[in-house]
Amino acid sequence: MNNKRQIEDVLREEGMFVSTTVGVSMFPMLRNRKDTIIVMPYEGRLKKYDVPLYKRGSSYILHRIIEVRPDSYVIRGDNCIQKEYGITEEHILGVLTGFYRGSKKINMDGIGYKLYVRVWRLLYPVRRLYVWVRSLAVSAWRKIRRGKKDV
């Protein structure tokens, strides 16, 4: 029997979930296994730039809302290129309300955080182009390496 509590159980029973993050999808805002997040239970409609915690299959995901639709949200991690469609209110468990970078609490209502969100969002086309150019370069390099082995 699995006695491990699920995040949704902790949110319901404790009224909040506090943990470090795992993964790089929200980098540079959240660092893998270093920063501590505070997630509160989900209540009501979320807005653009909120960071919900939701469940997809057996995976828990913490990504940013980039578009609010009448019946769903379009979501993407800060370090991701692909958008996620069809995330509905029934998927959402909680919302990020704060986080710590080391011992420093980051004010998500502060000008620095809000500036980060908007600048990072504006840089998306540049980041997407970078990923595309890098993948072309890696592909070309592999073809060149393969060609040298045949000689």
pLDDT in tens, 27-50: 999 999 999 999 999 888 999 999
Whether the Cβ atoms of residue 9 and residue 62 lie closer than 8 Å to each other: no
pLDDT at 148: 65
Q: Is 67 left (phi over 0), alpha (psi -120 to 50) or beta?
A: beta
Q: Is the dihedral of CA 116, 118, 121, 125 positive or negative?
A: negative
The reported pTM is 0.85
The reply to whether 103 falls in a domain is yes
- The alpha helices in 40-150, defined as continuous H runs, are 111-122, 124-150
Number of domains in the chain: 1
The reply to whether 128 falls in a domain is no
The reply to whether 148 falls in a domain is no
pLDDT at 1: 44
Q: pLDDT band at 3, cuts 50/70/90?
A: low
Containing structural domain, residue 54: 7-123
Residue 5, C-beta contacts closer than 8 angstroms, at least 6 positions apart: 13
